[in-house]
Amino acid sequence: MFFQKDIETISRDKLEELQNERLRNLINRCYENVPFYKDRFDRLGIKPEMIKITKDLRNIPLTTKEDIRENYPFKMFAVPMKKVVRVHASSGTTGKPTVVGYTRGDLDMWSDCVARLAVAAGATDEDVAQISFGYGLFTGALGLHGGLEKIGATIIPMSSGNSEKQLMIMEDFGTTLLVSTPSYAVYLSEMCREKGIRDKMKLRLGLFGSEGCTDEMRNLIEKNFGIFATDNYGMSELIGPGVSGECKLRCGQHIAEDHFFAEIINPETGENVPDGEYGELVVTTLTKEAFPILRYRTRDITRLIKEPCACGRTHARIEKIRGRSDDMLIIKGVNVFPSQIESVIIGMDYVGPHYLLVVRREGFMDTLEVQLELIDAALLERFSELEALQKKVKEKLRSVLGLDAKVSLVQPMTIERFQGKAKRVVDLRNQK
């Protein structure tokens, strides 16, 4: 089943033609309406007419998250604010989020892209979709909401949290489709199994994304819930969910290539890698109006698969995201930067500036342990003070990260020191 069959099965030649045409229009829009791009092009002597086809994109610099941050909040928008009908944002290192905007046209394109991946996974207008992503500035909930509404599914805008209620609603409202992070789906599915209420539910499909999901994790969710689930990728800077999603064959995620042009680069050199090789995904938004972006460094590591898919879709696929090339951690779907944690710790009484973050996968849930060094070992003997300190750090971390972390206070001088770049993160999640 397709949502927009003509475009989803378009021949590669026609698709390339369409991409080139859209690219030329995009380059002009960026040059004329976004001072950031105009300055950059002028400085490098790049004229818009020099970028005619997608291959020419290699001649222009990459855009980074820092570029967006420096233009906080709206300076990279290409339309007047009165044309912007929605903003979203994602968390950032400095406490200032990365802000993205949408015109009416953008929202329409966005919901088309999400509708495509929902239909590709098997969703229909008969589905009752429980959206258990957090509603708000995060793109996940409203993104899936728009796409599923477009195909005529019944939406339950549940938001995340309150798991008992999630299960109650699932049972009482006859939810057939669950939208969430895979880690939250694992949690809910385990609860469902423990309560023995699966038989009272109609759940059949899961649309997951926003963080990586191993095959083992997906198998567990599918087994516990008795559903079929797909993996879906996107990021707020590009649109949100809808950039790519798996079809029923689950052999990579089809990119909405009529709207997003994908390249893979070597993250060290910035050069394009040969077709099929792993590297960092770089995306140009071909049609976005409010916040177009040229060659955005996603920092996500994957590879492109251009061979035709047996499902009939001709759009290239990306393989499951392998990891990130920068230090941003995604814990339970929340973006966490070590520097955010540093900002909490530095300046606090009793603890020094040395810390270590240990990320683990316990069962199928991500956990974060923050190890902090005490300035004075004597505190280790004074339990009530130690406990109060631990609680204080925990609360501060929760308010900055929106996430619960385990706080371990360790002896002075026990955390490794570095002369060069510090390695503050030990990510044990992908270790067997």
Q: How far is the CB of 328 from ligand DLL (least distance, A)?
A: 7
In terms of CB distance, is 51 or 209 closer to ligand DLL? 209
What lies within 8 Å, CB to CB, of 179 at 6+ separation is 129, 130, 131, 132, 133, 140, 141, 144, 148, 206, 207, 208
Within 210-249, which residues bind ligand DLL (CB under 6 A)? Answer: 210-212, 231-236, 240-241
Smallest separation (angstroms) from ligand DLL to the CB of 374: 34
Minimum Å gap between C-beta 289 and ligand DLL is 19
Q: How far is the CB of 384 from ligand DLL (least distance, A)?
A: 39
Question: Among 146, 209, 267, 292, which residue sits at the site for ligand DLL (rule: CB under 6 A)?
Answer: 209
| Residue 50 per-residue DSSP state | G
Distance CA 86, CA 66 (A): 22
* Distance of alpha carbon 197 from alpha carbon 193, whole angstroms: 7
Q: Which is nearer to ligand DLL, 298 or 340 (CB)?
A: 298
Nearer to ligand DLL, 24 or 250 (CB): 250
> Is 49 exposed, middle or buried, given 0-12, 13-18 or 19+ CB atoms closer than 10 A?
exposed
Q: Does 140 bind ligand DLL (CB under 6 A)?
A: yes
For ligand DLL, give the closer residue by CB, 198 or 320: 320
Please tell me whether residue 183 binds ligand DLL under the rule CB under 6 A: no
Element (H, E) at 146: helix 139-150
Please give the Cα distance from 262 to 23 (Å, whole number).
Answer: 12
Binding segment (CB under 6 A) for ligand DLL, from list 164-172, 208-216, 254-262, 415-423:
208-216
Our CB check for ligand DLL shows the closer of 72 and 350 to be: 72
Q: How many CB atoms lie within 10 A of CB 35?
A: 11
Q: In which element (H, E) is residue 199 found?
A: none
Q: At closest approach, how far in Å is the CB of 296 from ligand DLL? A: 10
The CA distance from 235 to 110, in Å, is 12
At 7 the three-state DSSP class reads helix
Q: In whole angstroms, give the CA distance from residue 342 to residue 370.
A: 10
User: Mapping DSSP to helix (H, G, I), strand (E, B) and coil, where does residue 201 land?
Assistant: coil
Query: Scanning residues 360 to 419, which ones bind ligand DLL (CB under 6 A)?
Result: none
Q: End-to-end CA distance of the chain, in Å?
A: 37
Q: Tell me the Cα Rg of the chain.
A: 23
With CB under 6 A as the contact rule, which of the stretches 54-62, 203-211, 268-276, 363-371 interacts with ligand DLL?
A: 203-211
CB of 390 to ligand DLL, least distance (A): 29
Identify whether the C-beta of residue 397 lies closer than 8 Å to the C-beta of residue 341: yes
Q: Count interface residues toward ligand DLL (CB under 6 A).
A: 21
By Cβ distance, which residue is nearest to ligand DLL? Answer: 209
Contact 258, 15 (CB under 8 A): yes
Separation of alpha carbons 399 and 343, rounded Å: 12
CA 404 to chain centre: 20
Identity of residue 429: R
Return the residues of window 285-344 that contact ligand DLL according to CB under 6 A: 298, 300, 321, 324, 330, 335
Question: x/- site string to ligand DLL, residues 43 to 72, per CB under 6 A?
Answer: ------------------------------
Among 90, 160, 284, 371, binds ligand DLL (CB under 6 A): 90
Of 46 and 239, which has the nearer Cβ to ligand DLL? 239
Stretch that binds ligand DLL, among 118-126, 146-154, 204-212, 351-359 (CB under 6 A): 204-212
Question: Of 62-70, 79-87, 209-217, 310-318, which part binds ligand DLL (CB under 6 A)?
Answer: 209-217
Residues that bind ligand DLL (CB under 6 A): 90, 139-140, 209-212, 231-236, 240-241, 298, 300, 321, 324, 330, 335
